[in-house]
Amino acid sequence: MKTNIAIFASGRGSNFLAIAKAIKSGRLRKANLAFLLCDNPDAPVISKAKKLKTKVVLIKPEAHTVKEDFENKVIRYLRENKIELIVLAGFMRILSRKFVSAYRNKIINIHPSLLPAFKGKEGIKDAYEYGVKVTGVTVHFVDEKMDHGPIIMQREVRIEGRDTLPSLENKIHKIEHQLYPKAIELLIDNKLRLKGRRILVKNQ
């Protein structure tokens, strides 16, 4: 039995592409990508999804008077497609407490730093400009706070003296594309157990 997942994205879609290809190649053999949900009609991720023949659900927030109406519509699609795991991949909206509670421990996100350091949308740039020698990538469960929630996996990325911001971004993205499918695989294979805010890996 495959696990139905939905990917939420707003931009380029490089992590969407990495996950979708992992599913199509059979590396994520127990995952079924039900649809891509996008809130931006101009996002490049939409064309990537269409090339892979992935269903695209476009919901424009500005078409809804209040945030709750937008999220209720999203939830309706999730329920209709029996979604068991929501994968945020560059989704540039903060989910409400009500939404997170409805899908507690079923929403994951990837962030380009070693959380809790360098939260926010400029995580790579902030780490580079601060001058740290090591940054990285974090996959975590989503809770009510931004870039918060129990950490599932992390991987370090060294910032070398010759690195520029673009070269560091490329290094980070390469790790993201490896780490995210692996984290999804562990979740689907039921090899992770959440105990409080700790993640325990089973059978490893």
Catalytic annotation, residues: 111
Amino acid at 3: T
For tokens 């560059």, the residue is 90
Question: Cβ distance 3 to 29 under 8 Å?
Answer: no
* Cβ-count burial 24-47 (b if 16+ within 10 Å, e if not): eeeebeebebbbbbbbbeebebbe
Q: How far apart are CA 44 and CA 180, in angstroms?
A: 20
Q: How far apart are CA 175 and CA 6, in angstroms?
A: 21
Question: Cβ distance 196 to 126 under 8 Å?
Answer: no
**SS3 label, residue 19:** helix
